[in-house]
Every structure is written in C-alpha cells, then in structure tokens.
Structure 1
C-alpha cells in the first residue's frame, strides 16, 4: 500500500462515523466508468457537431433510441396530453436527454430530479432552469412525498448499479407514484439475454462486467405487491446488448 493510500485509509477511518469518505477524483473502476463525466462528454459532442443527447445515443445505443424510448413510455402510460400532468420525477437524468423530450411532450407543472453527479447537476441547472433538484443519496427519493407523482421514471441507470440498490429505487418509485400514475424504468432482464448478447459478453467479458441483470418475473411480482400493474414493455438498445423498458400503472 502506497503512502497516499495509507493516508486515505487513515483519514477515512476518522471520517467514517460522519458518513463521509475521501475518494479519488478519477477512477478506472468499470463499475463507475459507464457514468460519463459531463465536461468530457459535452466537449466530444460539440466536436462531433451533435447535441449531447444525440452523441450519447450514438455512443451507448443507436441513433434515435432516446426518442423511441420516450415514445414507448408515453404510449404505455396514457400520459400523452400536454399540460395534463402535474408532477414528473426523474431519477438520474444525467445529460437530460430524456428530460427534454418528456418536458416537450407533457409540459408538466413541475419536474423534479434526483442526480448524484455534481458535474451533471451543474449542466442541468444551466440547460433546464425549470427543474427542481432534490438531495440525492443514491438509493432513496426521501424529499418526495408518498402518492404525489404522476410519472416517475429512470433510464440507463438501474442496469449499472447493484441490484439491491435498484430494488431500493423500485420500492421508492412505487411509494411516490399516485394512484393512476406511471412508474417506468429500464433493466437488463433475463429476456434481454438473447444469443447475440450472450456471445458479445462471452467474447468481451469486460462489457458485461459493468452491468447488473435483473430477474424479470421477480421484478413484476415485486411491483405487483405494491399495486403496480405492467402496462407496456419495450427493448432499448445498449452498448453490447439491450435493456427492457418496463412501464407500470399504479392501481
């Protein structure tokens, strides 16, 4: 262990009772690297002559994937009429590529977000001054009241985090959505694991290592126990495979 590492361990030992720790400013950890840094991403999008959203579509999925995902989500939700939605909540909006399309389609009265990345929060504040930001702890929606949200959604987030953390978010989404409202999110379910995706992961194990796979039937049962009924699903392209968008309505 280097002197720097020993120092970090010692400082973190002092800070641990306060729930705080030091981390490196840059990490090559494959579990962290999929969440792209804002400055670098914006710079590359500009150099490519693309919006940040279009750049990310090309980088991690395929052109038009974001628009298709939002269209599928809204079609399954029944929340397609602009101005008829009171509150939307998005978990992990990142670049805002889904945010912008949902705002354009629904014109909600309020749009709340939970984002853990400070660099993307700064970017979002500049691009979307109408957003309401809440403190994000990475597993709850603590600032949002129960049964208060018309649409709560998350995209390209739950497939990257540990499944137990994803389950915490699913429980919270079920809590905050109102009766008749919609909860939507994408996961890598077992239905996503077709032969091509399996071949890709076997050929390049590092690709699969950054993802978390969820048991589809278990997720449906978990949501049903919280009065959420599946009303639609849609496969979404992902680098090295695909995710499944699941759309639920609260009974």
Structure 2
C-alpha cells in the first residue's frame, strides 16, 4: 500500500526495548560539522573527555601486545565507528566484523576498510563462528545495557575468540566508583548506567578460559569506566 508513495517497511535490527540506539547519527554528524570537528573529536568533547577514543585504543593494543598479524576483528556496538577506525588503522585486519543495532550509523560503518556488517539482534554474535577472531571488543556499550544482556554478550565474546585471541570491553564496576562520581550521579539523577561486580566478572570469564591481561580506566560523563583486556587460553 505504501510503495506507490515511495515508502517501504523493513524489519529493524532489534525490536528489544533494552537495546536502543544512544546517539542519533543525523544529529551527531550535523553537530560535528557545525563544530568543525571530526565525529571522534566531537563525541569525545561531548563526553567531556577529549582524546579518550585514541587513549582507549592505545591502551587496548598495549595490553593485548599482539605478536602476530591481526587477521579478524569483531566489534559489538560500533556506533559512529570511532573505535573501529582507530583499530583498523593500527592493526590492518583482513576482516572487521561489526554488530550494530542502530541502522542510521550503518552507512558510515560500511565505508570503513574491510568491514563486514553482520545481522545484529543485540544479544548474539550468531554469524561469527566459534574460535574465529583475533580480537573481539566493545566500548561504551555494556555501561548502558541491562546486566542479563551484558552477560549474554560476554559469553558470546568468549565463544568467538580464538585461542590466544583477545577480548576487551569496558564496564562500570566497584573500582570505578568514588565519592565524586557517586555524588555526580546522584545530583544529576543518572539512571542510564549499569554496574557489574568486577570480582564476579573475572571469575565467570576465567571459567570460560579468559585470563586478565590488564586494565585501564576510561573517562565517562561524570565518572569513569574500566577497560578490561583478556586473553583466551
């Protein structure tokens, strides 16, 4: 009925209300152009943390200490592609798989080198075979998701990484909280962030063959997250 009007209805990437886009592509791209900044620079400044994207990727690669060529990478929730672009230019992978539920960012992600956009349901990495990637990572994703969704994604990351490969992501845990961060959140009524127990998380991932290589604190609006980097046995 709508096709004569030039409108077609298509199925979205995820209809789960727990999996919602965070930043509008159209508004973010327009704002970055008005500010005369790259998208990476604009989002970093928007989050009151200039340079945070580069710092995060540098910390990840330093802790991962890849001794061989990185052939296959997988990222969950790449969004604007700011982390993807940094990782690609630093590692030159043959294939860079992306799972992204926000359809408005997909044209930008598709333009990155060697990117493969996988069907994203917000819960699984179903198109990626077990033990197939050298690096699977996520940034500023799990801090916004319900705990059960995060746990499922972490299990999937452990599944798809190859032996000797690296899993990296950031979360808000008890080591991130201090009096200033807590007071900021209370004063601002911040209800969008999710927390996870660090000790419980390390134990669960150890049971899945992941050992912690190290960590790095990453700025978050009003506080910080902890980037955790693991290697698969």
TM-score by length of structure 2 reads: 0.90
After TM superposition, the structure 1 = structure 2 runs for residues 3-152 of structure 1, keeping only pairs within 5 Å, are 32=20, 35-79=22-66, 84-125=69-110, 127-152=111-136
Residues 80 and 106, structure 1, Cα contact 8 Å, conserved in 2: no
Q: Indicate if the aligned counterparts of 1:158 and 1:186 stay in contact, CA closer than 8 A.
A: yes
Q: How many residues align?
A: 220
Kept after mapping to 2: 8 A contact 1:233/1:246: yes
Deviation track 1:68-105 (CA, whole Å, cap 9, x = no partner) reads 10011001111276xx1110000110001000110011
After TM superposition, give the deviation of residue 236 of structure 1 in Å: 0.4
- Alpha-carbon distance between aligned partners in 2 of 1:145 and 1:197, rounded to the nearest angstrom: 39
Partner of 1:3: none
Q: Deviations over 1:187-245 (max 9, x none)?
A: 0011101111011012111x2x0000111001101100000000010000011111100
Q: TM-score, normalised by structure 1?
A: 0.84
Shift, 1:123, TM fit: 2.1
Q: RMSD across aligned C-alpha pairs, in angstroms?
A: 1.9
Go from structure 1 to structure 2 and tell me whether the alpha carbon gap of 1:215 and 1:128 turns closer, same or farther (over 3 Å shift).
same
The aligned counterpart of 1:188 is 172
Task: Write the distance in 2 (CA, Å) between the matches of 1:114 and 1:71.
Answer: 22
Could you tell me which runs of 5 or more consecutive residues in structure 1 were left unpaired when the two chains were aligned: 1-19, 24-28
**1:177–1:183 contact (8 Å) kept in structure 2:** yes
Tell me, what secondary structure is at the counterpart of 1:243?
A: strand
